[in-house]
Amino acid sequence: MTAEEPRFRVRARYTDSTITVYQAYRPEIGRPAARDGRFPTSWKRDRMTWIKPSFLWMMYRCGWGTKEGQETVLAVEIARDGFEWALDNSCLSHYVPGLHPDQAAWKAQLRRSPARVQWDPERDLHLNPLPYRSLQLGLAGEAAARYADEWIVGIEDVTPLATELHALVRARELGAATALLPPERPYPVAESLVAHLRS
């Protein structure tokens, strides 16, 4: 871990008004979503949906788009104010002594919160864990509805990119693979939005 990479940091591709997050779905969900710029009616909004600002963490999770049910990788561009609303209304997915008064208080907060946060090890091109962590954001209830109906600006199928990168990594062409990675940089999130989310 270096001074430039604290243990907990949101890293993402973003603009002045949007942030890109990644998800992977089976083709029956992912392809219509990319085509229409919104999730199809078969997308279950009553289930928690996890969004990930880290492209390589998504590659780790979906196996470069090869895992069953995760064959279509989506880059979902959403409004930054929506993403930050979710952070502000989220709870850590696990109990942390010192951060929460006690386990009962954490469980009560978890029940009230429409979003939850996990910090998972960031990954390198070989999908090995790095000594610092990236954000996963789970959306349920009001947060999932806002995500699907209000926050989405655009959806792109980036499965071809995942496939190309995977081939380059397997061919040990790491320089070429690095050049193709989506550019992610530290996201300028207010301390007040994440202070309650660091374990």
Q: What is the pLDDT along the chain (199 residues), one digit of tens a residue?
A: 445 787 888 999 999 999 999 999 999 999 999 999 999 999 988 889 999 999 999 999 999 999 999 999 999 999 999 999 999 998 887 766 666 677 777 777 767 878 999 999 999 999 999 999 999 999 999 999 999 999 999 999 999 999 999 999 999 999 999 999 999 999 998 776 676 766 5
> What is the pTM assigned to this prediction?
0.92
How far is residue 115 from each of residues 4, 36, 50, 148, 171, measured CA to CA in Å?
A: 28, 25, 9, 14, 39
Give which of 1, 3, 21, 24 is closest to 11, Cα–Cα.
Answer: 21
